[in-house]
Amino acid sequence: MDKSAFLDAMNIQQWQSAANAQSQAAYLILHDDDDTPPTVEFVAQILRLLDLSEVEFAFAEQPIKGAQVIWDMRQRKTRPHTALIESAPMAQLLQQSQSKRELWQQICQHLNQLDARA
């Protein structure tokens, strides 16, 4: 049995050097594996709208411990809902105007919350 697989199964966090820990993105964008893959340019534009242009992000299919989910674009969302914004999968965003409207409403809501705090 692989040692790292055993430790992962036991939910034991493994030691990482500081260089490796910093190279992992602290922010995630969740998407379905069988969906149209989101482009980095599209995601960067949305993050700029959210005033998160300097954030390093990674794509993943499942949440990763220690990383904040900033956008969940999976078909089936899991609880608890911790993403900053949630949208339909990328294929639906490209085709359905209602999905785009819902994403835009969340962006506006986030910006209004930022203005209220300032």
List per-residue pLDDT tens for the chain, 118 residues long. 567 676 677 767 666 544 444 445 678 999 998 888 888 899 999 999 988 888 888 999 988 888 899 999 999 877 777 889 999 999 999 999 999 999 999 999 989 988 888 7
**Alpha-helix residue ranges (DSSP H) falling in 35-77:** 40-49
Q: How far apart are CA 112 and CA 114, in angstroms?
A: 5
Q: What is the value of pTM for the model shown? A: 0.72
C-beta atoms surrounding 112 within 10 Å: 10
What separation in angstroms does the CA of 34 have from each of 61, 74, 108, 112? Answer: 10, 10, 29, 34
